[in-house]
Structure 1
Amino acid sequence: MRLQLLWALADPCNGQVLMVLNMDNNCSTTSFDVELCAEKLKSLGVQVAVDQWRSLLQDAVLKPEVRRYMFYNSRAFQIAMAMIFYMSLWTNIYSTVQLCSFGRYWEASVLVTIAAVAVTVVVILIIGRHQRKINVNTDVRLAAVNEIFIKHSLILGITDVLDGLHNVLQLWFVHFSPERCLQALSARLTPKFSYFQSKLRHSLDQLCVVMETAVQPDPVKVEQDSSEESPLLSTEVNLKKDSMTCNELLCLIPEGPPEVMAQQLLVIFSGCYVRLLVSGLLPRATVVGHMERGKVPCLCQFIETNVLATGHRWFTGG
């Protein structure tokens, strides 16, 4: 685990990286040094108790299933898959072309190579475009941690880099004061017209996650069915047999006061915003927002354009 301290000024700007934690994702026993991180945060003037966010951070990014997901979605794995996809595609196209009469000429090999490269590039671009969107399995999982740190003008995001043969996870600590973004979003969420409100509610209803919940059968009904249909089996066995689960949609932004909904939006999308910010994937902003430096959109502009779909042209490029 390595730590980089990137800021030593007394008055950081919005969007300025304060600290980066690095962790090797190839080794399941490694983790972020939380104690060292807490000491560095104190040196930066951020007084947050470790007990408040240690377990939330571990549940967000250090669980084995989450780390496996991040490895399979890492750049190293995607490069390997792109090479395998290219070779498989080239082999299949070349074998098909050989069945035709013109497949014996050398021009056929050139055309096959060009076609395979073109399709592979399209697939890589589609994957890259998908990575610009919010990731429920990583970005949203940091929402609980960001809910604590955003009160101290900090937001967190996670990325991965390829260091030789190692996949390295990077946890970014970025300074961001949410007050002005919170006011701007609250104003956008304040009911004005019924049409605008219904359209806004439709956009917010799309922000859902699927939760798997256990459905417990009625013990009285199970006991009746057990006595009538299979009297030789115990009720305990039938309870285990009849237990089932169902998928339930959980809305991330429920109906509430505009200030509460705006705060929830900032917390949920802060992880995605940091990931795109430090990766240089945020488009340029045409209107100056709440960023003191640079021409990237602030957090509320990012949310308005990509989530609320209010029709404002905040960004140029793609």
Structure 2
Amino acid sequence: MAHSNDRENILPTQSSLMLFEAVEEVDVIHWINDSDKLGHLSCSNSNNDPELNSASETPELYNGCTLLVLTSCGSWWSPGFNLESCEEGLARFGIQIPPDEYKLPIRASLMSPEVRRYMYFSSGGFMMLFAPVFYLSSWCCLFSTLHLYLSHYLKNFFWAFCFLVSAATVLLTTGLLLVLRGHNRKINLNTDVRLIWANENLTKHNILIGTLDTTKYCASVLHLCFIYFNLWECERRLASLLEARRHSETELQSFLRQRLGHLCVVVETSQVSPPNGEAAMSEEAPLLPGNGNGALDDGNQHHDVKTLMSLVPDGTPEEMAYQLLLTYSGLYVKLFVTNQLPWTKASIHTEQPHSPCLCQYIETSVLNLSSCKS
């Protein structure tokens, strides 16, 4: 869905993302253009693909087509994604996007040190280190605690006792890993939601991006995936579903708050307060805080104000549908590329027969407006 450039940004999270610092990035680009292997990351070189080397043919674009995948080492101290290669990669599909429309949002969203540390400590590679440490610590705690109270009864059953403690620890560790794996399939406010700004710019060119983490040689590898997806039909269908659900505006908002009330982001704003808490008269207060010479007045105090902003959509059904599509676009790309989307009998707006499109995913898995088999 291509929106006009003068369309006003609906989601306000852009103000908070602008505050993050960008870091230098160096990485390797992986090109994917195999329609038979959608949902699987390819490590092949683009130079070996005759279709890419053909300058006379432009690859066919369809919803769900993987355009390119940028990879980066999962360690938080490593450089980020090589965004300089995106322009050349997208040009092979005949897509021309101004670099500022995706470079600045991606750098502000994913390449700050705080976000890179979070992505490292929640990655699969770190979980591989965490699992044995958790197992050993749990085994020692269970053994020492039970042995303290049951030492008189375990003299003849010591090895059986050790086996039972080991079995209980294995079950506990496995349960923890399954919980973490299931949590990874839900929307992540620190990664998926932060891509709203970038996806808002890229949807004008029918592109969605998302991040995912894989493990290779016991090391975590981060991927930034670009897929082609035209949201026009999804937006129109989702708006009609919300319109049918809206018996009254208050009832619809109550329903959305119940389903999406947990989606909140912290927005930081800088404010200037006058000295001694005295408010200046509106006629005398300057438009910019300063003393008239370009320097800030020493009496003014600058402080950051953090406010909690809800991502529950508001407005007309079309505006709410647009906001929902942007909010869940990053998560959808991650689940789509890794084949973790819920199973459906027929897809409406994608080429994969049993993978739901974005509006189907929001309808079934987010709003629970209809049933969808997992």
- 3-state SS of paired residue (2:354): coil
Measure the CA separation in 2 of the matches of 1:307 and 1:218.
46
| 1:110-125 equivalent positions in 2, closer than 5 A | 110-125=163-178
1:2 paired with 2:57, answer no
Aligned residues: 302
Give the Å deviation of 1:287: 4.7
Indicate the residue corresponding to 1:248 in structure 2. 307
Give the Å deviation of 1:198: 4.1
- 3-state SS of paired residue (1:188): helix
Indicate the residue corresponding to 2:139 in structure 1. 90
Give the Å deviation of 1:115: 0.4
The one-letter code matched in structure 1 to 2:252 is: Q
- Identify the range of structure 1 (167-176 vs 186-195) with the bigger mean alpha-carbon deviation: 186-195
1:58 paired with 2:107, answer yes
Instruction: Kindly provide the CA deviation profile for residues 102-141 of structure 1, in whole angstroms up to 9, marking residues without a partner as x.
Output: 3342110110011001111111111111111101110111
Alignment check: 8 A CA contact 1:215 1:246 kept: yes
Segments of structure 2 that go 5 or more residues without pairing to the other structure are 1-26, 34-50, 52-57, 280-296
Give the Å deviation of 1:271: 0.5
| Aligned counterpart for 1:279 among listed residues 312, 325, 338 | 338
Alignment check: 8 A CA contact 1:93 1:112 kept: yes
Q: TM-score, normalised by structure 1?
A: 0.85
Measure the CA separation in 2 of the matches of 1:98 and 1:119.
19
Indicate the residue corresponding to 2:316 in structure 1. 257
Indicate the residue corresponding to 1:102 in structure 2. 153
Instruction: Pick closer, same or farther for the CA change 1:245–1:119 going to 2, 3 Å.
Output: same
Alignment check: 8 A CA contact 2:268 2:307 kept: yes
| 1:283-298 equivalent positions in 2, closer than 5 A | 283-298=342-357
Instruction: Pick closer, same or farther for the CA change 1:109–1:143 going to 2, 3 Å.
Output: same
Instruction: Pick closer, same or farther for the CA change 1:208–1:306 going to 2, 3 Å.
Output: farther
- Identify the range of structure 1 (188-197 vs 35-44) with the bigger mean alpha-carbon deviation: 188-197
| Aligned counterpart for 2:236 among listed residues 159, 167, 183 | 183
Give the Å deviation of 1:215: 5.9
Measure the CA separation in 2 of the matches of 1:19 and 1:265.
25
Give the Å deviation of 1:307: 2.8
Measure the CA separation in 1 of the matches of 2:325 and 2:140.
48
Indicate the residue corresponding to 1:221 in structure 2. 277
Indicate the residue corresponding to 1:316 in structure 2. 373
Measure the CA separation in 1 of the matches of 2:303 and 2:83.
38
Alignment check: 8 A CA contact 2:123 2:220 kept: yes
Give the Å deviation of 1:293: 1.9
Segments of structure 1 that go 5 or more residues without pairing to the other structure are 224-234
- 3-state SS of paired residue (2:319): helix
Alignment check: 8 A CA contact 1:97 1:103 kept: no
Alignment check: 8 A CA contact 1:13 1:293 kept: no
RMSD: 2.6
Instruction: Pick closer, same or farther for the CA change 1:112–1:29 going to 2, 3 Å.
Output: closer
Alignment check: 8 A CA contact 2:260 2:312 kept: yes
Instruction: Kindly provide the CA deviation profile for residues 157-188 of structure 1, in whole angstroms up to 9, marking residues without a partner as x.
Output: 11122232542211111121211111111112
Indicate the residue corresponding to 2:204 in structure 1. 151
Measure the CA separation in 1 of the matches of 2:202 and 2:124.
28
The one-letter code matched in structure 2 to 1:3 is: I
Measure the CA separation in 1 of the matches of 2:344 and 2:184.
20
Percent identity for Structure 1 against Structure 2: 34
Measure the CA separation in 1 of the matches of 2:172 and 2:88.
49
Alignment check: 8 A CA contact 1:17 1:174 kept: yes
Measure the CA separation in 1 of the matches of 2:316 and 2:134.
49
The one-letter code matched in structure 2 to 1:102 is: Y
Measure the CA separation in 2 of the matches of 1:89 and 1:216.
51
Alignment check: 8 A CA contact 1:102 1:108 kept: no
Indicate the residue corresponding to 1:14 in structure 2. 63
Q: Which structure shows the bigger proportion of residues in helix conformation?
A: 1
- Identify the range of structure 1 (262-271 vs 25-34) with the bigger mean alpha-carbon deviation: 25-34
Measure the CA separation in 2 of the matches of 1:162 and 1:134.
20
Indicate the residue corresponding to 2:255 in structure 1. 200
Indicate the residue corresponding to 2:44 in structure 1. none
Instruction: Pick closer, same or farther for the CA change 1:142–1:85 going to 2, 3 Å.
Output: same
